[in-house]
């Protein structure tokens, strides 16, 4: 079955960096786009970043552009989110989520990990 | 950027009720709209894609409709398991935007 498992969250001081990982199984990872979505405590969902199946194309929400970098290692079935210059308002649960196949029409995120909590605080 | 606005923010209902949640887009998005259910401490679960397509395994009491800028999610005969938060999402090949969410609570 499809599984996505995030890790790497924790407490970090403002201005510091953190890297999240998401290991996937149960589908052909290198054929699917992947996303990161976050949710601040008690708040709604916010799309963060997307990467194409081969890693060539990436896009970011305006709130993280220039500070966060999405990447993937298809040989390890792993998605990453490098977060630099962290701010208090980056505090959230970060979810990785599966996107559509490279050759399909747009499709929403159909499988999600359990999330990893990032707390930015001094 | 396309903005998605849901209403109401909170909805009180009883088991067996039919409830409707509305989602409006700031410009036409055709039918590129999804609905998710989220329970506390859990990841979102995809319910509806392309405005009215029922995701595999989702009960038929959930239905979606609409196109352009106005969309609805309807839950008929509300079950205890349905008390949760619901989010609409515009998606495309280059844009993903969530509504602010609607909490369905027990009356």
Q: What is the pLDDT of residues A20-66, one digit of tens each?
A: 999 999 999 999 999 999 999 999 999 999 999 999 999 999 999 99
For residue A59, the chain B residue with the least C-alpha distance is: B94
What letter does residue A112 receive in the DSSP assignment? B
Structure tokens at A30: 């290198």
For residue B28, give the nearest of B70, B68, B72 by alpha carbon: B68
- The Cα B104–Cα B85 span in angstroms is 6
Chain B partners of A53 at a C-beta cutoff of 8 Å?
none
| Minimum CA–CA partner of B42 in chain A | A114
Tell me whether B44 touches chain A (CB under 8 Å).
yes
Say yes or no for a CB contact (<8 Å) between A109 and B97: no
**pLDDT given for residue A25 in this prediction:** 97
* Strand intervals (E) in chain B: 4-7, 10-13, 19-25, 33-38, 45-49, 53-54, 62-67, 70-75, 85-91, 96-98, 102-106
B98/A47 CB distance under 8 A: yes
Query: What pLDDT is stored for residue A108 in this prediction?
Result: 94
Q: Which pLDDT band holds residue A105 (cuts at 50, 70, 90)? A: confident
pLDDT of residue A22: 98
CB-CB neighbors (< 8 A) of B58 in chain A: none
Q: Is A42 left (phi over 0), alpha (psi -120 to 50) or beta?
A: left
Nearest CB among B43, B49, B87 relative to A107 is that of: B49
- Matching residue, tokens 């008390």: B83
Which whole number is the average pLDDT over A12-23? Answer: 98
Q: Give the mean pLDDT of B76-80.
A: 96
Give the model confidence (pLDDT) of B3-48 as tens digits.
999 999 999 999 999 999 999 999 999 999 999 999 999 999 999 9
In the predicted structure, residue A102 carries a pLDDT above the cut 90: no
CA distance A52 to A121: 32
- Which two tokens mark B17? 């009720």
């Amino acid at each position: 079955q499809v599984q996505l498992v995030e890790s790497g969250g924790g407490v970090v001081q403002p201005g510091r960096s953190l890297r999240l990982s998401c290991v996937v199984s149960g589908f052909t990872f290198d054929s699917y786009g992947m996303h990161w979505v976050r949710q601040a405590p008690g708040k709604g969902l916010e799309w963060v970043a997307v990467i194409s199946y081969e890693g060539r194309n990436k896009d970011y929400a305006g709130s993280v552009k220039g500070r966060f970098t999405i990447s993937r290692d298809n040989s390890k079935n792993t998605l990453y989110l490098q977060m630099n210059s962290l701010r208090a308002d980056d505090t959230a649960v970060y979810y990785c989520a599966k996107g559509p196949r490279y050759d399909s029409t747009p499709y929403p995120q159909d499988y999600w990990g359990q999330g990893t909590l990032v707390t930015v605080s001094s | 950027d396309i903005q998605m606005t849901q209403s109401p923010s909170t909805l009180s209902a009883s088991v067996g009720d039919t409830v409707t949640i509305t989602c409006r887009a700031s410009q036409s998005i055709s039918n590129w709209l999804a609905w998710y259910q989220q329970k506390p401490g859990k990841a979102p679960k995809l319910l509806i894609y392309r405005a009215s397509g029922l995701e595999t395994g989702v009960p038929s009491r959930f239905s979606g409709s609409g196109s352009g800028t106005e969309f609805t999610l309807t839950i008929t005969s509300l079950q205890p398991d349905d008390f949760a938060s619901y989010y609409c999402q515009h998606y495309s090949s280059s844009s993903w935007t969530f509504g602010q969410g609607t909490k369905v609570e027990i009356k």
